[in-house]
Amino acid sequence: VDLAPGHKRGLLLRNPVMPASGTFSWGFEFEHHFGPEGIRRLGAVVSKGVTMEPRAGNRQPRVAETPAGMLNSIGLQNVGIEACVRDLAPQWARWETPVIVNVAGDTIDEFGEMARMLDGVPGVAALELNISCPNVDTGGMEIGQSVEASARATSAAVRNTDLPVIVKLTPNVTDPVALARACEAEGAAAICAINTVLGMAIDVDRRRPVLPRARGGLSGPAIKPIALRIVYDVAGAVRIPVIGCGGIATSRDALEFLMAGASAVQVGTATFANPRALLDVVEGLEAWCAAEGVARIADIIGCARPAPV
């Protein structure tokens, strides 16, 4: 799959499976467990969100398990963009698998600034603009809930880099299609849908929200139908590729997203219960394609959609 067809550099993946940002750290634990050949099995690697300055993240506890999925309020804990360029990118450059860096600006200008800092850095194949983090007071959803601000953040990044720019949408809006269209118009190479859904949990014994910030981002099985609906709607409204993310744990989940119109999928929360989840999805897709006589994934993308009239 090419996630940036027509873009000057393109973003060619050997398969459509990659981790969801934040659930994979910088990729080195996975490499440690599954070796370089494990990394080589993935379509791409997606980094944790990187901010201009290093961040310690929100107060603990920052994760709450619910039967429907996981709530997180990490608050973009990360090493900052300078350490990313200096220490992480040279290690990514060892891999043949493309690395997509998730970039979280505090302001629209920061998105432009960070895109400039990552431009031409060996080991960085593309950017994923995180305009959708629900756990920070500035940037994040503040940008991603506004069509105008989303368009400006996209434009700021696209103007400052030759790298393909993927925009990751928040589901916490009434009209994700309008956001996707605005980002496409500003030169986004692809759309990723979705980031986490705002939710909360209460500790009945303490009579307090479990998370100090009360709200957090819900991920996992509960949000799969939401993500699938948004991917279906967005894929029908834009010409650029759509990456599906939200509750994908198995190859059959991945197939639902591909059939809805996604060109690739991200696996996140599932990896906590099953560290092999990404590899299982890759292998499951290969087995399904072989059994069904599907030669290329492209042949099933959007196949569940009504035929164009």
Q: Give me the active site residues, please.
A: 133
Site string for ligand DOR, 55-74 (x = CB under 6 A): -----------------x-x
Please pick, from the candidates 23, 47, 97, 130, the single residue that binds ligand DOR as defined by CB under 6 A. Answer: 130
Q: Which residue's CB is nearer to ligand DOR, number 88 or number 255? A: 88
- Count residues binding ligand DOR (CB under 6 A): 14
Site string for ligand DOR, 149-178 (x = CB under 6 A): ------------------------------
The 3 state secondary structure assigned to 179-239 is HHHHHHHCCCCEEEECCCEEEECEECCCCEECCCCCEEEEECHHHHHHHHHHHHHHHCCCC
Contact call for residue 199 and ligand DOR (CB under 6 A):
no
Q: Cα dist. 308→178, 231, 294, 305 in Å?
A: 21, 17, 22, 9
Q: Please name which of 82, 251, 234, 98 lies closest in space to residue 168, comparing C-alpha atoms.
A: 234
By DSSP bridging, strand 99-103 and strand 45-46 are parallel
Q: Which residue's CB is nearer to ligand DOR, number 74 or number 183? A: 74
268 CB-side CA count, 13 A: 29
Q: How far is the CB of 187 from ligand DOR (least distance, A)?
A: 22
Q: How far is the CB of 42 from ligand DOR (least distance, A)?
A: 20
The residues of the shown chain that bind ligand DOR, judged by CB under 6 A, are 22, 49, 72, 74-76, 130, 132-135, 195-196, 217
